[in-house]
């Protein structure tokens, strides 16, 4: 058996790939559920119900999906240019911290500025620190040839320790006894609820609009073309006059900025303050979402909601049957790998030799 390149990528295979990958993943997860000794049918029914089975389930899934769409977009745009940004987790935390630094109730009141001024400043600050956190590794790669995978990964640990230091120090909420928690965001800077009596907030609108904008950028602008060219072959792109370094820098700003925004929106829409466990790996999960979406921004919205559903559904399912909630992380990991393989068959076919 060997792989043989198709003359052109199979359109049917490209569209079918995510579905095949997800079905395969659910089959693998079934084995793990059986191993835990739980009834498979009931487990999946509970998982689905917990994710999409009711108004409440949908609202929780969409709430969880909001940061995931943003980190998914962050990974998608970076991976298109083959800029391996594995640092979205740190960029998210940095953005969250920046948001509270600008809009928090420091000294009980915070900055004496109207919300109409402070709100855009808050988002800009979050996007800026996220962007800077990725610009440094990008610069180290283009200037010195340092692999950005390792530097962005290591920066995640550094940022998290920095956040921990801030939560012990200048940003500490004096009223939170013992728990490392930042001061709260000003009430008038918090995002409105999208649906009354749920946790879904207008951050979801920001995420979807940004996805649409990004879809336009990658499809119909010079930057989108240059990103693709740099990702396909940076040297060839340079020969054709594509400004490779500049394109990388712009992609880094967009990708890091989106991850930083994810942090700010999570604070403004859901938590209201920064804690050290506000993101259960949204940055890493974003990579999986980007891959499931085939790096397409609109696909990221769908994949983000799907993955959020798995996470939320698994939480609620594990309260009903004896299946550990970590099944969700296994499903996310297996779907990444099976998506990778499924996409391969869009470009190659298997031939018996």
Partner 1 sequence: MSAADVLAIFSNADFWSAVLRIATPLIFGTLGALICERAGVLNLGIEGIMVAGAFAGWLAVYDGANLWIGVAAAALAGAVFGLLHAFLTVSLALSQHVSGLGMTLLATSVSYYAYRVFFPNVSSPPTVKPFAELSAIPIPILASQTPLTWLALAIVPVIAWILYRTPLGLALRMVGENPAAVEGQGIDVVRLRTGAVTAGSALMGVAGAFLTLSAFNAFYFNMVNGRGWICIALVVFAGWRPWKALGGALLFAFFDALQLRLQQQAGGIPYQLYLMAPYVLSIVALVIVARRATYPQALMKPWRKGER
Binding residues for partner 1, rule: CB under 8 A, are: 2-3, 5, 32, 35-36, 84, 86, 140, 144-147, 149-151, 153-155, 157-158, 161-162, 164-165, 168-169, 284, 287-288, 291, 322, 324-327, 329-330, 332-334, 336-337, 340-341, 344
CB of 158 to partner 1, least distance (A): 5
Q: Which of 176, 344 has the CB closer to partner 1?
A: 344
Cα angle 119-164-106, degrees, rounded to a multiple of 5: 40
| Distance in angstroms (rounded) separating the CA atoms of residues 12 and 40 | 31
User: Cβ 61 to partner 1, closest distance in Å?
Assistant: 20
| 111, 116, 122, 123 alpha-carbon torsion, rounded to 10° | 180
What is d(CA 274, CA 92) in angstroms, rounded to the nearest whole number? 11
Instruction: Please give the full DSSP string across 6-40, using - where no structure is assigned.
Output: -SS--HHHHHHHHHHHHHHHHHHHHHHHHHTT--H
Question: Could you tell me the sign of the dihedral formed by the alpha carbons of 139, 235, 296, 21, in that order?
Answer: negative
Q: Which C-beta is closer to partner 1: that of 143 or that of 197?
A: 143
b/e sequence 18-55, b meaning 16+ C-beta within 10 Å: beebbebbbebbeebbeeeebeeeebbebbeebbeeee
Nearer to partner 1, 58 or 284 (CB): 284
Question: CA angle 318-285-262, nearest 5°?
Answer: 110
Please give the Cα distance from 328 to 284 (Å, whole number).
14
Query: Residue 161 or 209: which CB sits closer to partner 1?
Result: 161
Report whether 77 contacts 246 (CB < 8 A). Answer: no
Handedness of CA 95, 326, 290, 191 (dihedral sign): negative
Least Å distance between CB 137 and partner 1? 9
- Judged by CB, which is closer to partner 1: 7, or 196? 7
Query: Least distance from C-beta 291 to partner 1, angstroms?
Result: 6
Shortest Å distance, C-beta 160 to partner 1? 9
Minimum CB separation of residue 195 from partner 1 in Å reads 31
- For partner 1, which is the closer residue by CB, 197 or 351? 351
Closer CB to partner 1, residue 149 or residue 195? 149
- Would you state the structure tokens that stand for residue 311, as one six-digit string? 């996470």
For the bound state, the minimum distance from the C-beta of residue 20 to partner 1, rounded and expressed in Å, comes to: 15
Question: What count of residues does the chain have?
Answer: 353
């Amino acid at each position: 058996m060997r792989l043989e390149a198709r003359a052109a990528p199979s359109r049917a295979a490209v569209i079918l790939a995510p579905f095949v990958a997800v079905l395969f993943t659910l089959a693998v997860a079934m084995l793990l559920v059986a191993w835990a000794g739980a009834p498979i049918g009931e487990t999946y029914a509970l998982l689905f119900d917990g994710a999409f089975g009711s108004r409440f389930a949908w609202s929780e899934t969409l709430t969880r999906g909001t940061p995931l769409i943003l980190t998914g977009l962050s990974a998608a745009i970076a991976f298109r240019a083959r800029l391996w940004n594995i640092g979205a987790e740190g960029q998210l935390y940095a953005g969250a911290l920046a948001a509270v630094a600008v809009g928090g109730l420091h000294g009980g009141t915070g900055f004496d500025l109207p919300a109409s001024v402070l709100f855009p400043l808050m988002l800009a600050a979050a996007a800026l620190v996220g962007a800077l956190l990725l610009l440094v590794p990008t610069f180290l790669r283009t200037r010195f040839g340092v692999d950005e995978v390792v530097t962005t990964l290591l920066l995640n640990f550094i940022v998290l320790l920095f956040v921990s230091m801030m939560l012990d120090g200048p940003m500490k909420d004096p009223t939170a006894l013992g728990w490392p928690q930042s001061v709260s965001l000003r009430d008038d800077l918090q995002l409105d609820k999208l649906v009354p009596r749920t946790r879904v907030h207008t951050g979801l609108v920001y995420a979807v609009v940004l996805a649409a904008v990004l879809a336009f950028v990658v499809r119909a602008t010079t930057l989108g073309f240059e990103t693709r060219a740099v990702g396909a072959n940076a040297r060839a792109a340079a020969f054709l006059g594509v400004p490779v370094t500049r394109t990388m820098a712009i992609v880094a700003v967009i990708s890091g900025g989106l991850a930083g925004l994810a942090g700010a929106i999570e604070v403004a829409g859901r938590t209201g303050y920064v804690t050290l466990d506000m993101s259960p790996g949204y940055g890493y999960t974003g990579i999986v979402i980007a891959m499931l979406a085939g790096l397409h921004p609109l696909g990221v919205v769908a994949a983000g909601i799907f993955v959020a559903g798995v996470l939320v559904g698994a939480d609620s399912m594990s309260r009903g049957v004896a299946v550990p909630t970590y099944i969700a992380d296994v499903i996310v990991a297996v779907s990444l790998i099976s998506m990778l393989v499924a996409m391969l068959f869009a470009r190659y076919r298997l031939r018996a030799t």
